Chains A and B, each alone.
Chain A
Amino acid sequence: MGNELVKLIDTTLCTACRGCQVACKQWNEMPGLRTKQTGTYQNPPDLQWNTWTLIRFQEYEDKDKNFTWIFRKDGCMHCTEASCVKVCPSGSLYYTDIKTVGVHHEKCIGCKECISACPFDIPRYNKETEKVTKCDLCYSRIKENLPPACVKSCPTGALTIGPKDEMIKKAYARVEKLGGDANVYGDKFVGGTHVIYVLQFKPEVYDELAKDPKVPQTIALWKSILKPLSLLGAGGVIGGSILHYFIHGPHKPHPEHYDEPKKQGGA
């Protein structure tokens, strides 16, 4: 392996059967937890440490009061410029050879820095293990030339995976065919994501979908400026102190500071 893969989520083909949600749990051996009925079919209510992908259910009415369901499979977008990898201090989050974002679970120190950084609000913290989890695009399966569990389970063809260029081409062809507001979401920001959507409506219509996802600019300030500055600053001070000691010399009492005249100053 080693070639760049992209998973395409065609939301217009999704029937919300949630086969992917179940397959993901099964493959990754994530337990089911007690859930809450919140007045929607969406279940569980949000991504959780044990739920790495979730079908979001949304009731939508267009300007002519036509009702439709919107189903969107939420989960890690596998950014090329991944904020989570940039901030992760432990190397738990890393770029794989196929340019997706993998997780070395054993390295995670549970600092939660990735949670704040991710523009798509993906990583979730597990209190018990004190570690963070997220989709790894089934790296272990891809390495064995198998499609991710979610893709394998999808009965409608809403989920497909393949070489990057082919999938992007396929997405644009589909959007062309759909017409209207249909658009491709993912290839244009954060260096291009390795999970892209075909959306029927403009991105702002969708619940919990970032309108303008960006790597937070504060990360550059933090990691590229302040981080080296901490060593430079301390180094400068140590160097300055040594220079001061030898050029100016330490502060020593003058003769008049002593009760009796003394031959030499100093302690």
Chain B
Amino acid sequence: MKNKMVVVTSGYERFVHWALAISCLTLCYTGLGILFKELNFLGVIFGGLKGLVTVHDFMAVIFAISLVLAIAMWWKEAGIFVFPEDWEWIKAAGGYLWHLDHVPETGKYNPGQKAFFLTVALCGLLMVVTGFFMWYPEKLGGDLMDWVYVLHVLGFVVIFAFFFVHLYLGTIGNPGSVSAMISGKMELPVLRMLHPKWVKEMEHEGKLMIANDKK
């Protein structure tokens, strides 16, 4: 028997999320090629190092826009910790480090996801602000700019590492969750495991949207 599919994301949400993901990944790729002389060859597909810069500049704009949209869309659900329930989850490490029969229940997003959201939001804003001044370094002057470059790479260190955490947990680490990014639907059992409280609340309020299965 097929599991029930629940609608978890809207088309708009997925669009913003993909725009953010693709621009972020492209920025990491092009940034990597600029940062390491040994990786300058990553620019070959864009016609050389200058091409990497052009793509980085263009994607920066897409990234900045989708970041602002993403923050506006998610900060209420994912930007605020709710105590004590989130604290219980943190103490149990969300069940990711040792086996638990019952992972403490949290709202739509668990503290891990919230921490991730906040990190991306803050580091993303940091990248936009520092990147902007890297376009116009004369606005700040040499002494402050020295720190701007450090912060841009610091943000890169965090974002690049977090990207892989996110990729793992969103795909093979939590089978069944990647469909939220593709079709926007997730299987009910997976949802009950990952977002139990949210499912209960939605069921209680009668808002849980079960997708019409084409049976």
Query: Which of A55-63, A179-187, A213-221 has 4 or more CB atoms under 8 Å from chain B?
Result: A213-221
Binds B, one of A41-49, A144-152, A158-166, A249-257: A249-257
* Cβ-defined contact, B164 with A234, below 8 A: yes
Type the 1/0 row for A233-267, where 1 means its CB is closer than 8 Å to any CB of B: 11011100100110010111110011110000011
Say whether, besides A109-B50, A219-B146, A254 and B193 are in contact (CB < 8 Å).
Answer: yes
A190 to chain B, nearest CB (A): 15
Measured CA separation A42–B45 after assembly (Å): 47
A196 within 8 A of B: no
> Does B34 sit at the interface, judged by CB under 8 A?
yes
Do A241 and B165 touch across chains, with their CB atoms under 8 A apart?
A: yes
B136-172 contacts to A (CB < 8 Å): 137-138, 142-143, 145-150, 153-154, 156-158, 160-165, 168, 172
Q: Among B160, B163, B173, which residue has its beta carbon within 8 angstroms of that of A250?
A: B173
Main secondary structure of the interface of B (DSSP, over half): helix
- B55 beta carbon closer than 8 Å to chain A: no
Bound together, the chains give a CA A113 to CA B164 distance in angstroms of 29
CB pair A253–B192 under 8 Å, yes or no, is yes
Q: How near does chain B come to A253, taking the closest CB pair, in angstroms?
A: 4
Assembled-state Cα–Cα distance A262/B143 (Å): 64
* B212 interfacial by beta-carbon distance below 8 Å: no
Establish whether residues B149 and A116, one from each chain, have CB atoms under 8 Å apart when the complex forms: yes
| Contact yes or no, A251 B193, CB < 8 A | yes
Contact of B161 among A115, A234, A248, A260 (CB under 8 A): A234
Is A251 in contact with B150, judged by CB distance below 8 angstroms?
no
Q: Is the CB of B174 within 8 A of A233?
A: no
* Interfacial chain B residues near A253, Cβ < 8 Å: 176, 189-190, 192-193
Assembled-state Cα–Cα distance A118/B136 (Å): 16
**Distance between Cα atoms of A241 and B190 in the complex (Å):** 20
Picked from A115, A227, A257, the residue with its CB within 8 Å of the CB of B35 is: A227
Within 8 A of B (CB), among A111-145: 111-113, 115-118, 121
Contact partner of B145 (CB less than 8 A), chosen from A89, A116, A244, is A116
Using Cβ atoms and an 8 Å threshold, which residues of chain A touch B168? 237, 241, 244-245
In the complex, how many residues of chain B place their beta carbon closer than 8 angstroms to a beta carbon of chain A? 53
Q: A115-B142, A117-B146 are in contact. Are A226 and B176 (CB under 8 A)?
A: no
Q: Interface segment, B7-15, B69-77, B93-101, B120-128?
A: B93-101
**Distance (whole angstroms) from the CB of B85 to the closest CB of chain A:** 19
Query: Cβ of B173 and Cβ of A260 under 8 Å apart?
Result: no
Q: Which residues of A contact B32 (CB under 8 A)?
A: 230
Whether A241 contacts B149 by the Cβ 8 Å rule is no
Q: With A107-B49, A244-B168, A259-B188 in contact, do A226 and B194 touch (Cβ < 8 Å)?
A: no
Q: Does B86 contact A (CB under 8 A)?
A: no
Q: In the complex the two chains form, what is the Cα distance from A258 to B190 in whole Å?
A: 9
B37 at the interface (CB under 8 A from A): yes
Contact partner of B36 (CB less than 8 A), chosen from A227, A236, A238, is A227
Whether B192 pairs with A230 at a CB distance below 8 angstroms is: no
Determine if B175 and A266 form an interchain contact, defined as CB atoms under 8 angstroms apart.
yes
A192 in the interface (beta carbon within 8 A) = no
The 29 sampled A-B contact pairs (Cβ below 8 Å) are A90-B49, A109-B34, A109-B50, A111-B34, A115-B137, A218-B147, A218-B150, A226-B157, A227-B35, A230-B32, A230-B35, A230-B157, A230-B161, A233-B157, A233-B158, A233-B161, A234-B161, A237-B162, A248-B98, A250-B173, A250-B175, A251-B194, A253-B192, A254-B193, A257-B189, A257-B193, A260-B1, A267-B175, A267-B190
A residues within 8 Å of B by Cβ? 87, 89-91, 107, 109-113, 115-118, 121, 216, 218-219, 221-222, 226-227, 229-230, 233-234, 236-238, 241, 244-245, 248, 250-254, 257-260, 266-267
12 further A-B contacts with Cβ under 8 Å, apart from A89-B37, A230-B161, are A89-B49, A112-B137, A113-B149, A115-B138, A234-B161, A237-B161, A244-B96, A251-B174, A251-B193, A251-B194, A259-B188, A266-B175
